[in-house]
Amino acid sequence: MNHETKPVSPATALAALRPSACPGLVRVVAARDGGLCRIRLPGGVLSAARVHALADAASAHATGVLELTNRANVQIRGVRVGEEAALSAALIGAGLGPTGIDAASPLERACAADELRNVMLSPLAGVDPNSLCNTAAIAAELIDMMQREARFASLSPKFALQLDGGERMAMLEHPHDVWLAALPHGATVRFAVGLAGCPTTRPIGTLAAEDIRASMRALLHAFLDLADSDATRMRDVLAAHSLDALLQRAQAHGDFALMRDDAALHAWRREPSPADLRLGAHALHADGSGYVGAQPALGRIDAHTLRALAALAEDSGDATLRVTPWQGLLLPNVSAHAMAATLERLHALGLIVSRADPLARLIACTGSAGCAKSRADTKADAQRLAALLPPDTEAHLSGCERSCAAAHCAPFTLLASDPDHYDLYQRDDTQSGFGQRFGQPVARNLTIEAAALALAQRPRSTQDV
């Protein structure tokens, strides 16, 4: 008897080939509100044409709801069942996929290439005249290196790199597997290098810019040499092996040029950039031109607004948008005379343009409306909290311990315990937020109203503002 073979969906095939819970361009992951597709944007840069394509794809194959993420990516929510492959094809066709991967490439190859683009830059990379170097070119070189070497496809989809070029605005609190931060070195620039942390922690040494590609290749090979099946992140390898063992293994893989340069390490910056730089109009050049920053409430935006932003970028800037690691965006290269009008148009679109707006100081995960793991409707609760939030206070609402919306330890975290109830935590600035997920516990089982009162009574961290 002949048995009909049922076709395997791309998502099912991909899960078997490259298991992961992380959504991606090809890997559309099921959520409570439909499929979730994440578009990685190295450097957070989007041309206006690709913004239009992104909005069109979200409308055609999903509910038209998008989110800006805390790693400067974009994700489409509510992807309809059966539309996953068409959505991925539309996005790749619009140039939103990895370069050098043609349409005939096997599914797992396209997926692996996409998942090797976890490189975070400053939103001002390449446009801030006061930076020490333009990290965009280095990032492109690293991504190309990783995508060309077949072995690196075994890196976890969560494995992430960061490059800090010394721009005036940068997210320095997100832990990364490897980070590099530019620092002055006489007439040249070197890069401080750190592992399993963020650029506010002490580096392990320095690299010259011309040595980064070869040294990073050697370091990644060393990581994979030492990583067992459960060690997917750099912190896992360093928990099982000494730093010297890792560096010695890297030396065996070729040109690994790390220098233990203690004198140079004193020049690397440790302080987060001022929060006020994320929103509003800011001049970068002597002629008054610069950028305008804004953010959608709680990181969520619809396709209609996204199209309007693309048109605004074409009218007022250089026809690009930059997604920021604070779930916001900015328009670069806006002329001095267009600054005020651009800010007004962003505000008219419903975007937040000032830190005075309490929603500018709140982070919330998707919540129970879109995630089965969440114990509360964090988005709705954050809207309620905004009306009660004390001035200058920052808070993060998380529906579970995974903390999807905030990779860093926020000044205050409300962790859902039940619907409409939260445990309150406060960051301890004397300890690393990487080791303590939310900080120190303050109070348990609070309603939103009780949480607002507790926040008003707590002393704030010096890093809150």
Beta strands in 255-400 (DSSP E): 280-283, 290-294, 300-302, 320-323, 329-334, 362-364, 395-398
Average pLDDT estimate for 149-171: 93
* Lowest pLDDT segment from 135-149, 198-212, 417-431, 445-459: 417-431
pLDDT of residue 141: 95
Inform me whether the pLDDT recorded for 463 exceeds 50.
no
Predicted local distance difference test score (pLDDT) of residue 61: 98
pLDDT band at 18 (very low <50, low <70, confident <90, very high): low
Beta strand 119-120 with 161-164 is parallel
pLDDT at 271: 79
Of 265, 290, 307, the last residue of a domain is: 265
The pLDDT of 189-201, averaged and rounded, is 91
Task: Report whether pLDDT(465) > 60.
Answer: no
- What's 405's domain CATH number? 3.30.413.10
Same domain, 148 and 95: no
Half-sphere exposure of 251 (CA within 13 A, CB side): 8
Q: Do 328 and 400 share a structural domain? A: no
Q: Do 342 and 428 have their domain in common?
A: no
The domain total for the chain is 4
Model confidence at 142: pLDDT above 70: yes
Q: Of the given ranges (1-5, 201-205, 221-225, 343-347), which has the lowest mean pLDDT?
A: 1-5
Average pLDDT score over residue span 142-147: 94
Among residues 431, 427, 432, the alpha carbon closest in space to that of 411 is found at 427
- For the whole prediction, is pTM greater than 0.85? yes
pLDDT at 16 over 80: no
Q: Answer yes or no: is 126 within a domain.
A: no
Are 139 and 247 contained in the same domain?
Answer: yes
Mean confidence (pLDDT) of the chain: 89
> Percent of the chain beyond pLDDT 70?
89
What's the mean pLDDT in 5-24?
Answer: 56
Whether 41 maps to a domain, the answer reads: yes
CB 101 within 8 A of CB 56: no
Determine how many CB atoms are found less than 10 A away from the CB of residue 460: 16
Does residue 190 sit in the same domain as residue 78? Answer: no
By mean pLDDT, which of 54-63, 312-321, 427-436 is the weakest? 427-436
Start-to-end CA span in the chain (Å):
72
Q: 360-415 pLDDT, tens per residue?
A: 999 999 999 999 999 999 999 999 999 999 998 999 999 999 998 888 889 999 99
Contact predicate 136/163, CB 8 Å: no
Strand (E) or helix (H) holding 443: strand 440-446
Last residue of one domain, picked from the residues 352, 379, 406: 352
The pLDDT of 96-123, averaged and rounded, is 77
In sequence order, what are the beta bridge partners of 244? none
Cβ neighbours for 260, distance < 8 A, ≥ 6 positions apart: 204, 205
pLDDT, residue 184, reads 87
The DSSP secondary-structure symbol of 259 reads B
pLDDT-derived band of residue 106, with 50, 70 and 90 as boundaries?
Answer: low
Element (H, E) at 221: helix 212-226
Most confidently predicted of 99-108, 115-124, 179-188: 115-124
pLDDT at residue 4 above 50?
no
What is residue 408's predicted lDDT score, i.e. its pLDDT? 83
Where residue 312 falls among pLDDT bands split at 50, 70, 90? very high
Domain encompassing residue 97: 10-103
